[in-house]
């Protein structure tokens, strides 16, 4: 099976969907002539031309809103944010327009639009460019939020997202784009709203998504050497949440740590833990553990930035705590 | 047969005269609808809730746009002062009033309210509640009309308050860069809620706010229906010819407050009195009268008709059922989850063929 980069998997998904469906187009900053700020859309302008691969000014509210308006008319826009941090300047478009129009029109419109780009901390980008928007969008009814962790998942989920008739917030990560993984040749899609057990285990469930999955798999490897068998559950879709797969795992292991990159207070992990507690309280042998970012803006300094975010050590420590070892 | 169809003689003049009377009738219907809405809102045992912004005084703009609007081809999107545009594009007053009453038979099934009238079947892409939030949607709709090669135009309307939002600058720029078939129309009623143009825009002449984008920017009397039609038609023709967007400032005056709770303390009685002399309906009635299209009998007949329509709308809304509580969770998402979209190359052709959209 071919081994390709995460960015190539994203590109393959977009190219295949644009080839099968004339209504799909890609729009964003530097997606065309520059070949993508992170080279995700490399070669796509040459392949599809400027009608379907469209460079925009630095003007998020205009092109995010353009995508929503175009979707109201039956097109299937893929809107790339260079960084999800920049979506904060067009929050209104996503939260008030993309999420609400179907509901407040009494179901008269479908909004088949995908917003995608890098989310979360990368390498020393500082506080303004390191936002984690997971919880910001996952709390909004009317939106679908997908956060893949592997090239295989990224391609299959992005293809489904493009075909989806609802607005999809698709969270990638700059630091994952060069990750490599097996991706089969030819068509496949993956379901939205289904979590995936990335590593089976018996003693504790690690719940994570996006780049925290790799971190948790590393932690699970270390835990194995300590005699602790950790199950790694990749949430994959943050909204709607596949609670059944999560609770199914916790009911088997009786212990759980949620690992995410968000801030602690009202963060994504907090929301998932609240739902878990109601479902599995009687099955738990320990309170649910949590590893997340520190409650500060993201610092520039490398050491401070490292200290700010989850690490393998923090995950191992949290697991030992819930296992009482 | 209505008064509008009766007052005709020779075929050609007949068509023109009946068009004119139809437009007058629509302006009068909107006025009657809005004034009745005011009464219903303020009546004890209030059946209309929330924020409610009335269009009285600005009717010539919505009716002027509707006169140019090509049904089935064009689209319109606007802000929250949206009742008039909805009626002008053909919404049944019953569906409009039922929406204000929050009923399931409302144009947005009771889930939108006054600020969120939607009517996809008539090309109305909605009233939108956040000032300026609809302008990027308008250029997106125009983008789709161009992408799908429909020859359609998106009329994107907003009030003078919206020109100070960032979305205004961003959308004008992108629309012009992409040469989108979008007609931006500022309904300049002189005041953004309670802040007059002179206090909210550094440039008092709002036409200046549409300059710098390499598109025509023009201001005109938004109370003169014939002027509105001529200006909007020119901009729409330009858009249809692939020459890109235009920026129109229609100067008008709203007779009522910003919303129902507005005591109008920022206005003098003299100013309001002067504005009443320039009531767009009065101006148009005088013109048609002078042309011989309108007489006392026809006017009385139209008044009677619109009164009956509005009465029937209120009666309908009052008796229409509230949405069932099960409606709370409908229309949130279009798909069912978990969502599986199997890979089947065969459905590609079907999807492309069915891509006309709402």
Contact B171 A65 (CB under 8 A): yes
Q: How large a percentage of chain B has pLDDT more than 90? A: 85
| Residue B187 bridge partners (DSSP) | B159, B250
Give chain B's domain count: 1
SS3 of A192, please?
strand
Residue ranges of chain A that CATH labels 3.40.50.920: 196-323
Tell me: the pLDDT tens digits for A118-139?
A: 999 999 999 999 999 999 999 9
Q: So what's the pLDDT on residue B8?
A: 47
Give yes or no: A17 in active site.
no
Given CB atoms, is B223 within the 8 Å cutoff of chain A? no
Pairing of strands B246-251, B191-192: unpaired
pLDDT, averaged across chain B: 93
Closest CA to B351 of A12, A163, A64, A116: A163
Collapsing DSSP states into helix, strand and coil, what is residue B169? helix
- Whether pLDDT at A112 is above 50: yes
CB contact under 8 A, B335 and A159: no
Out of B334, B338, B355, whose CB is closest to A74? B355
Q: pLDDT category, A93, cuts 50, 70, 90?
A: very high
Whether B101 shows a pLDDT value over 70: the answer reads yes
Q: Which among B108, B174, B357 is the nearest to A62, CB-wise?
A: B174
* Confidence tier at B222 by pLDDT (50, 70, 90): very high
CA–chain centroid gap for A232, Å, is 16
Q: Is pLDDT of B44 > 60?
A: yes
| Whether complex ipTM tops 0.90 | yes
Residue B14: per-residue pLDDT: 82
The one catalytic residue in A8, A17, A29, A60 is A60
d(CA B8, CA A320): 90
Domain that holds residue B182: 3-352
Verify whether the Cβ–Cβ distance A102 to B139 is below 8 Å.
Answer: no
B216 touches chain A (CB under 8 A): no
Residues 278-297 of A with CB under 8 A from B: none
Alpha-carbon span B32 to B312, nearest angstrom: 12
Please state, in angstroms and as integers, the Cα–Cα distance from residue B65 to each residue in B17, B116, B189, following that order.
18, 19, 16
* Largest distance between two CA atoms of chain A: 60
Please list the residue range(s) of chain A that carry CATH number 3.40.50.970: 3-182
Instruction: Please tell me the least confidently modeled range out of B6-15, B30-39, B48-57.
Output: B6-15
Q: Which residues of B touch A51 (CB under 8 A)?
A: 147
Residue spans of alpha helices (H) in A169-311: 212-225, 243-253, 268-280, 302-308
CATH number of A196-323: 3.40.50.920
The pair of structure tokens assigned to B64 is 């002027």
> Closest by alpha carbon to B36, among B61, B62, B55, B63?
B55
Q: Quick check: helix, strand or coil at residue A55?
A: strand
Residue B357 lies inside a defined structural domain of this protein:
no
Does B77 touch chain A if contact means CB atoms closer than 8 Å? yes
Mean pLDDT of the region B187-194:
94
Residue B357 banded pLDDT, cuts 50, 70, 90: very low
Nearest to A202 by CA among A272, A318, A285: A285
The CA distance from A309 to the nearest CA of chain B, in Å, is 31
- Furthest-apart CA pair in chain B: how many Å? 70
Q: At what angle do helices B280-291 and B11-42 cross, to 10 degrees?
A: 150
CATH number, domain with residue B341: 3.40.50.970
Whether residue B350 is predicted with pLDDT greater than 60 in this model: the reply is no
Q: Give the dihedral sign, CA B291/B297/B299/B302.
A: negative
Q: How close B116 comes to chain A (CA, Å)?
A: 7
For B192-203, what is each residue's pLDDT tens digit?
999 999 999 999
Res B5 pLDDT > 60: no
Token pair in block for residue B44: 């004890």
In the residue annotation, A131 being an active-site residue is answered as no
In a domain, B84, yes or no: yes
The alpha-carbon gap from A212 to the nearest alpha carbon of chain B, in Å, equals: 23
- Is B316 part of a structural domain of the chain? yes
Q: Where are the alpha helices (DSSP H) in A29-120?
A: 44-48, 60-72, 91-92, 101-104
Q: Does the pLDDT of residue A157 top 60, yes or no?
A: yes
Q: DSSP letter at A176?
A: G
Q: Measured between CB atoms, does B11 come within 8 Å of chain A? A: no
Q: What is the pLDDT of residue B12?
A: 76
CA atoms within 13 A on the CB side of A218: 12
Peptide bond into B67 cis (omega under 30): no
Instruction: Choose between B15 and B119: higher pLDDT.
Output: B119
- The number of angstroms, rounded, from the C-alpha of B348 to the middle of its chain's C-alpha atoms is 37
Inform me whether the pLDDT recorded for B90 exceeds 90: yes
A172 CA: distance to closest CA in chain B (Å): 20
Check CB contact under 8 Å for A106 and B106: yes
B171 touches chain A (CB under 8 A): yes
Average pLDDT over residues B96-113: 98
Q: Which of A191-195, A306-310, B265-269 has the lowest mean pLDDT?
A: B265-269
Please name the residue of chain A whose CA is at the shortest distance from the CA of residue B137.
A69
Closest CA of chain A from B124, distance in Å: 11
pLDDT in tens, B248-300: 999 999 999 888 888 888 888 898 899 999 999 999 999 999 999 999 999 99
For testing contact with chain B, the best of A72, A187, A246 (most B CBs within 10 A): A72
Task: Give the whole-angstrom CA distance, residue A314 versus residue A307.
Answer: 10
Res B168 pLDDT > 90 = yes
B331 contacts A71? CB cut-off 8 A: no
Give the Å distances, CA to CA, from A153 to A2, A148, B40, B152. 14, 6, 55, 39
Beta bridge partners of B246: B183
A107 CB neighbour count, 10 Å cutoff: 18
Q: In the A/B pair of chains, how many CB contacts fall below 8 A? A: 205
CB A278 within 8 A of CB A312: no
- Work out whether the CA dihedral B150, B179, A96, B74 comes out positive or negative: negative
pLDDT for residue B174 is more than 50: yes
Tell me what pLDDT residue B46 has.
83
Query: What average pLDDT score do residues A139-144 get?
Result: 98
H/E element, A8: helix A6-20
Mean pLDDT confidence for A284-290 = 98
| pLDDT value at B7 more than 70 | no
B169 Cβ contact partners less than 8 Å away, ≥ 6 residues apart = none
| DSSP secondary structure code for residue B322 in this structure | P
Cβ distance A93 to A68 under 8 Å?
A: yes
pLDDT at B356: 38
Among residues of chain A, what percentage have pLDDT more than 70?
Answer: 100
Q: For A3-182, CATH number?
A: 3.40.50.970
- Among A54-58, A139-143, B348-352, name the one with the lowest average pLDDT: B348-352
Instruction: Evaluate whether A15 touches B344 at the Cβ level (below 8 Å).
Output: no
- Cα distance between residue A75 and residue A70, in whole Å: 6
Interface with A, mutate which of B126, B137, B152, B346 (most A CBs under 10 A): B137
Q: Which H or E element spans position B236?
A: helix B225-240
Chain B environment of A61 (Cβ under 8 Å): 136, 166-167, 170-171
Instruction: Provide the percentage of residues in chain B whose pLDDT is more than 70.
Output: 93
Spatial contact of A142 and A98, defined as CB atoms under 8 Å apart? yes
Task: State the pLDDT at residue B45.
Answer: 86
């Amino acid at each position: 099976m071919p081994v390709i980069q995460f960015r190539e998997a994203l590109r393959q998904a977009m190219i295949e969907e644009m080839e099968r469906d004339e209504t799909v187009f890609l729009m964003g900053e530097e997606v065309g002539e520059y070949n993508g700020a992170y080279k995700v859309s490399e070669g796509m302008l040459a392949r599809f031309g400027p009608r379907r691969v469209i460079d925009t000014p630095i003007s998020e509210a205009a092109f995010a809103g353009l995508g929503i308006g175009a979707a109201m008319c039956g097109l299937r826009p893929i809107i790339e944010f260079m960084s999800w941090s920049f979506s904060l300047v067009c929050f209104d478009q996503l939260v008030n327009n993309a999420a609400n129009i179907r509901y407040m029109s009494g179901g008269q419109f479908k909004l088949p639009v995908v917003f995608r780009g890098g989310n979360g901390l990368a390498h020393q980008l500082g506080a303004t460019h390191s936002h984690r928007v997971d919880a910001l969008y996952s709390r909004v009814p009317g939106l679908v939020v997908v956060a893949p962790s592997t090239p295989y998942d990224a391609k299959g989920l992005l293809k489904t997202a493009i075909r989806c008739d609802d607005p999809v917030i698709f969270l990638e990560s700059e630091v994952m784009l060069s990750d490599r993984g097996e991706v089969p040749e030819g068509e496949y899609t993956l379901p939205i709203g289904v979590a995936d057990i990335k590593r089976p285990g018996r003693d504790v469930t690690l719940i994570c998504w996006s780049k925290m999955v790799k971190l948790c798999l590393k932690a699970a490897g270390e835990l194995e050497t300590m005699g602790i068998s950790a199950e790694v559950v990749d949430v994959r879709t943050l909204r709607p949440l596949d609670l059944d797969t999560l609770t199914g795992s916790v009911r088997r292991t009786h212990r759980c740590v949620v690992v995410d990159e968000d801030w602690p207070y009202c963060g994504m992990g907090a929301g998932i833990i609240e739902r878990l507690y109601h479902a599995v309280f009687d099955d738990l042998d320990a309170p649910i553990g949590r590893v997340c970012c520190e409650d500060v803006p993201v610092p520039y300094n490398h050491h401070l930035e490292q200290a700010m975010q989850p690490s393998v050590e923090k995950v191992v420590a949290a697991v030992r705590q819930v296992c009482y070892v | 047969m209505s008064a509008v169809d009766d007052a005709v003689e020779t075929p050609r003049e007949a068509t023109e005269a009946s068009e004119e009377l139809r437009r007058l009738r629509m302006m009068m219907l909107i006025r009657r609808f809005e004034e009745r809405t005011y009464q219903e809102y303020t009546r004890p045992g209030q059946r209309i809730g929330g924020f409610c912004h009335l269009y009285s005084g600005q009717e010539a703009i919505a009716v002027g746009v509707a006169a140019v609007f090509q049904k089935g081809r064009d689209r319109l999107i606007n802000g929250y002062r949206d009742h008039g545009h909805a009626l002008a594009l053909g919404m049944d007053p019953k569906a409009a009033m039922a929406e204000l009453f929050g009923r399931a038979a409302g144009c947005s099934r009771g889930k939108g309210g006054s600020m969120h009238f939607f009517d996809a079947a008539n090309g109305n892409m909605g009233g939108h509640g956040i000032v300026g939030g609809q302008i990027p949607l308008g250029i997106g709709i125009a983008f789709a009309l161009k992408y799908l090669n429909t020859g359609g135009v998106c009329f994107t309307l907003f009030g003078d308050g919206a020109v100070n939002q960032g979305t205004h600058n961003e959308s004008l720029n992108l629309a012009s860069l992409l040469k989108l078939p979008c007609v931006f129309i500022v309904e300049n009623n002189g005041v953004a809620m309670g802040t007059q143009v002179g206090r909210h825009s550094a440039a008092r002449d709002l036409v200046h706010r549409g300059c710098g984008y390499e598109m025509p920017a023009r201001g005109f009397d938004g109370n003169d229906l014939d002027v509105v039609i001529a200006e909007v038609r020119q901009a729409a023709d330009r858009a249809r010819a692939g020459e890109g967007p235009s920026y129109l400032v229609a100067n008008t005056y709203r007779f009522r407050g910003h919303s129902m709770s507005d005591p109008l303390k920022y206005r003098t009685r003299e100013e309001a009195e002067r504005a009443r002399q320039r009531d767009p309906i009065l101006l148009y009635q005088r013109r048609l009268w002078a042309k011989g299209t309108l007489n006392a009998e026809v006017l009385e007949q139209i008044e009677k008709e619109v009164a009956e329509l509005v009465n029937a709308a209120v009666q309908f809304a009052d008796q229409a059922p509230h949405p069932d509580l099960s409606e709370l969770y409908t229309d949130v998402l279009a798909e069912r989850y978990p969502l599986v979209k199997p890979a089947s190359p065969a459905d590609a052709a079907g999807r492309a063929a069915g891509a006309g959209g709402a």
